[in-house]
Structure 1
Amino acid sequence: MTVRVRFAPSPTGFMHVGNARTALFNYLFAKHYGGKLILRIEDTDVERHSEEAVKVIYEALRWMGIEWDEGPDVGGDYGPYRQSARLDIYREYVEKLKEKGLVYECYCTPEELEAMRKEQLERGEPPRYTGKCRHLTEEEKEKLRKEGRKPVLRFKVPEDRVIVFEDLVKGRIEINSRQLGGDFVIVRSNGMPVYNFVVVVDDALMKVTHVIRGEDHISNTPKQLLLYEALGFTPPKFAHLPMILGTDRSKLSKRHGSTSVKEFREKGYLPEAFTNFLALLGWYPKDGKEILSMEELIERFDIKDVNSAPAVFDTTKLNWMNQVYIRSYPIDKLTELLIPYLEKAGYALSSFDRKWLERVVEVTRDYFTVLSDAPTYMETFLKDDFEVLDEAKNFIAENPDRVKVIELFYEKLKAFDGELSQEAFKKLVKEVGKELKAKGKNLFMPIRIALTGKMSGVELPILVELLGKERTLKRTENTLKQLSDIS
């Protein structure tokens, strides 16, 4: 049997991390067994659908490194892969249920249904449809139609039947049909079929062998199993993934911070780190290794190892993982990814040599948590006309000899002839210290302030080597002008 799984998102305009995790687990499962991943777009909600929203789904999945074998944009033998293009197929199977006498028209208004619900709650009963319209005569139906009522189509739920299925994550699940809320709607009054019906038809006709989805769908599964049986389909195996919670153990939401793939991408998380992190939300490799490539994830992934307990979205761990990936990323690729963040911060990168820029990335990337940190840590290398910070000015003002350190360093640098290497810089600083009898913070801090305007930052020998003599002189001149009132 060829494993066939599907990821079937609704195009809402963003990809939540929960959906992204579901897509990833389906992909890992399919590829582990040499199977197929189907991308199916559930776009029957015409009001919310847009092509831009579909594009968001494609971009999010591809950014994560997930490729599908069948789908709206790549084709396949079991299409169409958009529900909006499958309405004729659904009508055909609605007719099959009608022929079997397993559905009926319901003319109850929303107000009547709400009154029914309130009465049941007042009696301490769980809300369920009473089957009020199940036995309407043709005369009664015609009367209701003349009132302008448009019926929904309800599926007849068998009374007091235990529905059992073996969940690959949760184990054996038993639900009594009395817990399903009564006869449920499969076609709305506007003629549009509903989720629980179309998903059964789609999964069956697309020969889906395993349905891997969030545990919020567990309550839908017994309804779907009844429909599989009614339509004569063999049901797939089900695996319901644990909830994703915030660190406060409540359901992950906006108040915990970013929740969409796009937000994490824009902040500057690497796709490899984000995907690796998502894979560990509810699953953990037996060998305990956490930093895993997509190939390693595919090799190790087993749905039976998915934990049934909720997974906690720990941003601290994601940040750590992203740092690990940043530090090992190919410099040329990392530089390419950083350029948009640097340009957005206002740096004209065309004035810098690409190899030089890569060297700056190499010496600063250990400080990055996300790519958007780059402008902050690379500023020291990219910006010559900086303002000396007040705390730095105050430090210099405490001891006038500290200005003399900067002045002598400037004179020696101006007279220096040759390549300004790290060793040459250290030698110049040593000479300044010897002549002025300055050492420690009275020697090194003034020079740091002269070159950066700050009292902390990157190692100065590295900075100077990358700046070169002319830019180092320019910075020192700039600082001396700002300190002129102190000297």
Structure 2
Amino acid sequence: MQQAKAIFNKTRIAPTPSGFLHLGNALSFAITAALAHKTGAKILLRIDDLDQARMRSEYVQDIFDTLNFLEISWHEGPRDMGDFNKHWSQVQRLGLYNNALNRLKQSNSIFACSCSRADIPESGIYPGTCLNKGLPLDTPNTSWRFKTDSNPIAVRTFPSGIVNSRLSPDMRYFIVRKRDGYPAYQLASLVDDLHFGIDLIIRGQDLWPSTLAQLQLANRLDENAFVNTNFYHHPLLMADGNKKLSKSAGDTSIKYLIEQGKNAADIYTMIAAHTGEEQRVNNWLELSHLLGS
């Protein structure tokens, strides 16, 4: 398979090692591989391991095992567990994240929040309780929240072009540094994409609010490279009850399917069946063609 002339420089596969990967993850990996092939982009494997409380080594190994089993290759990033621990863990990039946090601090773009999860309304929408309390940022047991605004955000979508949208209410004043001192997902993901030169981000439709949050953050940090990044948001595989597949909910994992004797074509065929396509699918390229990616 000859790769297309490059339209983009680099995309990424960025799983979180918080559970064994499932069919929904495999779909995302396949779409990423297909769009990289279509646009000439190289693929970075980035493993988001900042949530140290949930990260386990067997989940990291499962990422390598799953990608290799599905015959999805990558051009940059860790090749095995030892390489990941030595060179690629997000923990080794804490300096980059802290630099971005300091820039937000200097521009008065963040505030300290002492609210616990129990203090957040059942709606999940944080009302800005601590916005005007003036808590010092070094107050113990506080998170740092971003001072969001309601301005329209321009999203470069591939291949459709620019879409303007606003932050959803549940992303208002999102967290950029957690109580444990570690950077939160939105900030770390943005910094990583800038650090590695990503210009095409492929993610599920459920992460559209994160895209808007990260773009607003990039605008505040004057990071035009990220502002000019292209995004492709793909549909999700849904479980019974119209809920998205979830590692934490114990949905059928690729690891389990392999242990039951399934091969890669079996798994791609199962993914296709979840989308209503009842035919044999042998590899990620066939799956992407079937789904129109």
TM-score (norm 2): 0.80
Residue 276 of structure 1 deviates from its aligned partner by 5.1
* 3-state SS of 1:68 partner: coil
* 3-state SS of 1:211 partner: strand
Deviations 1:333-353 (A, max 9, x none): xxxxxxxxxxxxxxxxxxxxx
* 3-state SS of 1:24 partner: helix
Aligned equivalent of 1:197: 187
* 3-state SS of 1:157 partner: coil
Unaligned runs of 5+ in 2: 1-6
Larger radius of gyration: 1
* 3-state SS of 1:132 partner: coil
* 3-state SS of 1:6 partner: strand
Aligned equivalent of 1:89: 96
Aligned equivalent of 1:37: 43
Q: Is the 8 A contact 1:131 1:183 kept in 2?
A: no
Quick check: 1:297 aligned with 2:276? no
Closer, same or farther: CA 5–277 of 1 in aligned 2, 3 Å:
farther
Residue 175 of structure 1 deviates from its aligned partner by 3.6
Residue 13 of structure 1 deviates from its aligned partner by 3.8
Q: Is the 8 A contact 2:22 2:245 kept in 1?
A: no
| Aligned-residue CA RMSD (Å) | 3.6
Give distance in 2, aligned partners of 1:38 and 1:203.
10
Q: 131, 147, 152: which is aligned to 2:143?
A: 152
Aligned equivalent of 1:217: 207
Q: Is the 8 A contact 2:265 2:280 kept in 1?
A: no
Deviations 1:380-406 (A, max 9, x none): xxxxxxxxxxxxxxxxxxxxxxxxxxx
What number of residue pairs does the alignment pair up?
280
Closer, same or farther: CA 238–302 of 1 in aligned 2, 3 Å:
farther
Q: 3, 8, 12: which is aligned to 2:9?
A: 3
Q: Is the 8 A contact 1:24 1:279 kept in 2?
A: no
Aligned equivalent of 1:266: 259
Matches within 5 A, 1:194-343: 194-233=184-223, 234-235=225-226, 236-246=229-239, 249-252=242-245, 259-275=252-268, 277-278=270-271, 291=280, 293-294=282-283, 297=286, 301=289, 305-306=292-293
Q: Is the 8 A contact 2:103 2:221 kept in 1?
A: yes
Closer, same or farther: CA 52–129 of 1 in aligned 2, 3 Å:
same
Give distance in 2, aligned partners of 1:82 and 1:43.
7
Which is strand-richer, 1 or 2?
2
Deviations 1:4-36 (A, max 9, x none): 111111112411111111111111211233321
Closer, same or farther: CA 251–132 of 1 in aligned 2, 3 Å:
closer
* 3-state SS of 1:154 partner: strand
Quick check: 1:72 aligned with 2:72? no
Which is helix-richer, 1 or 2?
1
Which range moved further: 215-224 or 67-76?
Answer: 67-76
Matches within 5 A, 1:136-147: 136=134, 141=136, 145=139
Deviations 1:290-321 (A, max 9, x none): 555548539x7499x34xxxxxxxxxxxxxxx
Give distance in 2, aligned partners of 1:180 and 1:251.
18
Residue 52 of structure 1 deviates from its aligned partner by 2.0
Give distance in 2, aligned partners of 1:157 and 1:90.
19
Q: Is the 8 A contact 1:44 1:84 kept in 2?
A: yes
Give distance in 1, aligned partners of 2:234 and 2:146.
27
Closer, same or farther: CA 131–51 of 1 in aligned 2, 3 Å:
same
Aligned equivalent of 2:3: none
Quick check: 1:99 aligned with 2:106? yes
Unaligned runs of 5+ in 1: 307-487
Relative contact order higher in (CA < 8 Å, ≥ 6 apart): 2
The residue identity in structure 2 corresponding to 1:100 is S
Q: Is the 8 A contact 1:39 1:81 kept in 2?
A: no
Q: Is the 8 A contact 2:237 2:245 kept in 1?
A: yes
Closer, same or farther: CA 302–257 of 1 in aligned 2, 3 Å:
same
Q: Is the 8 A contact 1:44 1:83 kept in 2?
A: yes
Give distance in 2, aligned partners of 1:250 and 1:63.
26
TM-score (norm 1): 0.50
Aligned equivalent of 2:4: none
Residue 199 of structure 1 deviates from its aligned partner by 0.4
Give distance in 1, aligned partners of 2:19 and 2:141.
31
The residue identity in structure 1 corresponding to 2:202 is I
Residue 261 of structure 1 deviates from its aligned partner by 0.5
Residue 185 of structure 1 deviates from its aligned partner by 1.2
The residue identity in structure 1 corresponding to 2:143 is V
Q: 123, 126, 129: which is aligned to 1:128?
A: 126
* 3-state SS of 2:26 partner: helix
Aligned equivalent of 1:60: 66
Closer, same or farther: CA 80–97 of 1 in aligned 2, 3 Å:
farther
Deviations 1:48-88 (A, max 9, x none): 22222211111111011111111122799xx9532122111
The residue identity in structure 2 corresponding to 1:15 is L
Q: Is the 8 A contact 1:168 1:237 kept in 2?
A: yes
Give distance in 1, aligned partners of 2:51 and 2:36.
28
